[in-house]
């Protein structure tokens, strides 16, 4: 029971961190979280320790646990590494993927394409079902890769990138046809055109970062337009 409580607490906090419930740099108070989640302080502490391994929480001296900060430099660096690994996993999947892998991509794309990106009940909020379908879609593309370590690294990087995307996308001022980008990626992948699929994936991931960097997102290393400290 203790293990299941800790696992549930970990999953709950992870989901909330990815969705931006806690602001970057905010202190994660164990006593408050324990009370709000209805679990023991030990379950919260163990979950926060696990979340430090995910890079979503930082153990700060004298401050306990705080939400990992965000910065443009970190996002750029993260994306460069992510693209390299994600493309390798895609290329390997194209090389050895079977009919089941192809079917998985087709099914994931169908689900994503028919799920509204915006919450029907909240026009300014991303649809949680679309977010889940988006994750399944990208997972399906690289699902045939047979390198355990590449996939582990890819998962860690995906979590970090997903946090940035969910947290900062509401600040975006640039429109894009994401469905068209996904459709082109599916077409090239199922055609086993590794070169084209790789370039499309690189462009797709880079485009997301370019949109986020160009937004009015609260990066720690980029002054806001109305920041009095910004130099003229």
In a domain, 108, yes or no: yes
Instruction: Quickly list DSSP for 118-154.
Output: B-TT-TTSB-HHHHHHHHHHHHHHTTT---HHHHHHH
Kindly state the tokens that stand for 171: 């600040």
In a domain, 219, yes or no: no
Residue 154 has pLDDT above 50, yes or no: yes
Note the pTM of the prediction, 2 decimals: 0.82
In a domain, 55, yes or no: yes
Contact status, residue 181 vs residue 108, Cβ threshold 8 Å = no
In a domain, 99, yes or no: yes
The per-residue pLDDT for range 95-142, each reduced to its tens digit, is 999 999 999 999 999 999 999 988 777 766 778 899 999 999 999 999
Domain end among 67, 99, 116: 67
Task: Specify whether 136 is located in the same domain as 51.
Answer: no
In a domain, 208, yes or no: yes
Residue 191 has pLDDT above 60, yes or no: yes
The per-residue pLDDT for range 1-33, each reduced to its tens digit, is 445 888 999 999 999 998 888 988 899 999 999
Task: Specify whether 62 is located in the same domain as 164.
Answer: no
In a domain, 224, yes or no: no
User: What was the pLDDT predicted at 232?
Assistant: 31
Which of 142-151, 157-166, 195-204 has the lowest average pLDDT?
157-166
Domain count, the chain: 2
Contact status, residue 119 vs residue 128, Cβ threshold 8 Å = yes
Task: Specify whether 90 is located in the same domain as 172.
Answer: yes
The candidate with the shortest Cα–Cα distance to 212, out of 90, 72, 105, 52, is 72
Task: Specify whether 129 is located in the same domain as 176.
Answer: yes
Q: What CATH number is attached to the domain comprising 186?
A: 1.20.120.530
Higher pLDDT, 53 or 219: 53
Burial 14-29 (b: 16+ CB within 10 A, else e): beebbebebebeeebe
SS3 56: coil
Task: Specify whether 79 is located in the same domain as 186.
Answer: yes
How distant, in Å, are the alpha carbons of 12, 16, 69, 171 from that of 120? 24, 21, 31, 19
The candidate with the shortest Cα–Cα distance to 166, out of 109, 112, 115, 217, is 217
Q: What angle do CA 58, 61, 67 make, to 5 degrees?
A: 25
Query: For residue 33, what are the domain limits?
Result: 2-67
Task: Specify whether 46 is located in the same domain as 121.
Answer: no
């Amino acid at each position: 029971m203790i293990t299941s409580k800790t696992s549930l607490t970990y999953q709950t906090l992870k989901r909330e961190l990815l969705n931006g419930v806690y602001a970057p740099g905010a202190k994660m108070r164990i006593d408050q979280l324990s009370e709000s989640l209805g679990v023991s302080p030990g379950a919260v502490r163990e979950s926060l320790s696990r979340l430090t391994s995910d890079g979503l929480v930082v153990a700060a001296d004298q401050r306990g646990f705080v939400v990992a900060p965000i910065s443009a430099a970190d996002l750029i660096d993260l994306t460069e590494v992510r693209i390299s690994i994600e493309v390798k996993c895609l290329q390997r999947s194209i090389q050895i993927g079977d009919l089941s892998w192809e079917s998985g991509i087709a099914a994931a794309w169908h689900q994503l394409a028919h799920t509204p990106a915006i919450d029907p009940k909240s026009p300014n909020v991303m649809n949680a079902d679309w977010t889940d379908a988006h994750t399944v879609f990208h997972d399906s593309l690289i699902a045939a890769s047979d390198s355990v370590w590449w996939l582990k690294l890819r998962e860690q990087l995906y979590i970090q990138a997903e946090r940035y995307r969910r947290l900062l996308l509401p600040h975006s001022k640039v429109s894009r046809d994401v469905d068209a980008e996904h459709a082109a990626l599916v077409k090239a992948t199922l055609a086993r055109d590794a070169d084209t699929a790789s370039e499309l994936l690189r462009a797709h991931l880079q485009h997301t970062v370019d949109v986020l960097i160009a937004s009015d997102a609260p990066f720690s290393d980029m002054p806001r337009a109305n920041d009095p400290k910004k130099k003229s």
